[in-house]
Chains A and B, each alone.
Chain A
Amino acid sequence: MSTTIHTEVLPVRRQTLRQRLDLGSGIFPYFLVAPTIIIIALVAAYPIIDSIRLSLLNNPLIPSGSNFVGLRNYIQVIGDPAFQSSVGITVVFSVASVALETIVGLAVALLMNQVFPGRGLVRTAILIPFAFPTIVSAQIWTLMLNAQNGVLTYVFQSLHILAQGDSLLRTPSGVVIAAVMIDVWKTTPFMALLLLAGLQVIPNELYEAAGVDGSTRWQQFWTITFPLLRNALFIALLFRILDALRAFDLFYVLTGGGREIQTIALYSYANMFVGTTFDFAPGVAAAVILFIICAVVGLIVVSATRISQN
């Protein structure tokens, strides 16, 4: 028996566009999916395209009308030190939180995949942090990290991690550390659950066979579990990275809406809705930049998945 398993790959034959479009049923299938396509175009494609249009205007909010200014808003945003720092914060936060969530989530999923009494209860209980709306859990953590009477502040001060009268939320790096901590607490269960689903479809016979061949646990993990889990892992990573890049509510609560420490999403929100009307179009430009970053990262992860499959 072979120890490697590959799903059957159908031989791929190059088809012309027409052949690919016509699957033998004429236009009828297209007619059936048309409503879905139209709705997606209205609720997803139109807002995106309109945002791009708005980001190229001078000031769409003044009654006297606005004129086309090309990429001026983009140049202004990219040159803004506040935007540059928001990119840095978003990247650091995304990398740190997703890396920690993946490692911890994988460990939790492997544990939950074992058979033990009370497994169903543990699987349910572990989801509780994920069930909270982010704005609520962020507020709970903010109260615990509060300078005057936060319980975590008290613990950190007792352990001499923080000086007396200090708070983790005082410095930008402290806020990012707190944000990573909260995000890991909140979304590790999500990661664990997606990975657990991937683990459950790995046939047990493989481990039995490997056991007969005398492999160690470590070898089993790297030769069976990890390769077969890769697809689930990529999907989970895609979800988490895109979520982390768009981080908004967590930082909004932790900083009390302050604009010294902000993610790209907060930067664009603050420009669009808190600043003056002159800031609106640059804010939209920042949102479009975030969209492009997310699209590029998404494409990279998806093509990485494809490559690893072949």
Chain B
Amino acid sequence: MTPSTKLLVKSAPDVWNRRTFLERAIAIGLSSTVAGSLLEACGGGGGTTTSGPTTIVWQTENDASGAYSSIVDTYNSTNKDNVHVIWHNGPSDTSTLITLYDNTLRARSASFDVFNIDVVWPAQFSSNGWTLDLTSRWPASDRAKYLPGPVKSCTYNGAVVAAPMRTDLGILYYRTDIISTPPTTFDELTSMAKSSLSKTKIGYAWQGIQGEALVCDFVEVLAGYGGSVLDPNNSKSVVVNSPQGVQALTEMASWVGTISPIAITTYAEEACRQAFQNGDATFMRNWPYAYSLSNASGSKVAGKFDIHSLPYGGSGTVGHSAVGGWNMAINANSKSPDASWSFMKYVLGADAQKLLATKGSYTPALSSIYDDAAVKAAQPLFTKLAPILQNSLPRPVSPVYTDLSNLIQVNVHQALTKQATPAAALSNLQSQLQTLVNK
């Protein structure tokens, strides 16, 4: 008898509740997503069983480090909340993830209870009524223990609509065997990268593909030149078409085909990391996740690189990193908000946050992790992050963020691919953004 038929015969006389259904479905090879949707199709009949733990589903962005599954396994085996968590790993592409969220939440479905949202989504999600208000559950005294930027990104219209799980920030990776002192300005970066072209194929690898990462890269250079997309004091006023904006975009466009290959406009994070890891790039702008992977065995640059804050230019005096990262929210349609919050509290706690840092080289949201000796020993990256975090900046905050991001992506990309001059692209972007925020 094959294992799967044995399982079916054995289980036939039992009455299946939600939990056993999910377990057996997973055992016979149904993915948990499919099993979850089947349950959903049953109209939530198994949602509340009288005995046994409450099962909740945690949908996240893609995690390849194994840190997320360790968190879930540890929680499931140790928690005293009588909660069982099923983890759904997400697609590697963020726009596919938001499609999943849009479809599920617009249908008012509860196929996941806790879900991770990009740091730029809370405004948009909560204005649609998709997330549960956490203000009363999460006291201000507790919130103060987390990095202020990520906490701020979870607040919309005075309410706390999500909780920060981990942050992300753009950092400059450089090869210590080629560059002795890292650059502080874009001019230095350009000239160093140019002279390094005899040693590596790519001087500077960054994310030029039309996508969310390009928005981050653009916002960073823009802030390095002292510009910004929206007026910091008035979110209805677009100020991207400024002299600083033109300088920043001209600088970026000048890299294409010189210190970066002409096809840099098709590179996302992973393409950059692969080039860097293969020893093909001297400089790279990327997130902290690339640190542990580039130091792993098999990497050609293990032990031969270091990180530094991003450069600045023009009248700027300090480089800024765009804040990325992921916040956790509770689905407003969840049938188990209390169990969901119990699990979230665990992920926000020191044990889980430390696991994120050591296992995934992710930058957690809990401030105390950055002073933890064990974390610093496991990931030397953390000894250098504090000053970079200080100067990190959020991307523009807007309830129609995906539209705003799309306009930035398309116009900046057109300047990079020389379909428009930087000045023309910015003036287009300015008028399109102004129409959007006036809506």
Contact = CB atoms under 8 A, between A and B. Distances in A.
B82 to A, nearest CB: 33
Contact of B261 (A165, A258, A275): A165
A61 B419 CA distance: 36
A170 B414 CA distance: 11
Given A166-B263, A167-B266, A256 B402 contact: no
Contacts of B406: 259, 275
Contacts of B96: 257
Contact of B263 (A170, A274, A275): A170
Give the dominant DSSP class at B's interface.
Answer: helix
Interface string B422-439: 000000000000000001
A163 B262 CA distance: 8
A119 B201 CA distance: 48
Contacts of A166: 261-263
A257 B409 contact: no
A170 B275 contact: no
Given A147-B271, A259-B410, A170 B99 contact: no
B48 interface: no
Nearest to B268: A256
A276 B271 contact: no
Contacts of B201: 165
B188 interface: no
Contacts of B250: none
Contact of B402 (A63, A255, A258, A275): A275
A278 B263 contact: no
B263 A260 contact: no
Contacts of B225: none
A148 interface: yes
B403 A275 contact: yes
A170 B102 contact: no
B95 interface: yes
Interface in A123-158: 146-148
A275 B262 CA distance: 30
Contacts of A277: 106, 128
Interface string A248-290: 0000000111111000000000000111111100000000000
B417 A170 contact: yes
Nearest to B413: A260
Contacts of B400: 276, 278
A165 B263 contact: yes
Given A61-B106, A259-B410, A276 B402 contact: yes
A171 interface: yes
Contacts of B280: 148
B106 A169 contact: no
B372 interface: no
A147 B281 CA distance: 14
Nearest to A279: B403
B247 interface: no
B124 interface: yes
A148 B274 contact: yes
Nearest to A60: B106
B261 A147 contact: yes
Given A148-B274, A278-B439, A257 B106 contact: no
A166 B106 CA distance: 41
B210 interface: yes
Contact of B417 (A82, A171, A275): A171
Given A273-B99, A276-B402, A276-B403, A258 B265 contact: no
B266 A274 contact: no
Contacts of A274: 95, 98-99, 102, 402
B271 A148 contact: yes
Contact of A257 (B95, B202, B402): B95
Contacts of B102: 273-274
A165 B211 contact: no
B120 to A, nearest CB: 12
Given A170-B263, A260-B413, 20 more contacts: A147-B261, A148-B271, A163-B262, A164-B261, A165-B202, A166-B262, A170-B265, A170-B266, A170-B417, A172-B419, A256-B93, A257-B93, A257-B96, A258-B209, A258-B211, A259-B406, A273-B99, A276-B400, A276-B403, A278-B400
5 contacts: A147-B267, A165-B202, A166-B263, A257-B211, A260-B409
Across the A-B interface, the 7 shortest Cβ-Cβ residue pairs? A165-B261, A147-B263, A167-B263, A258-B210, A273-B99, A166-B262, A257-B95
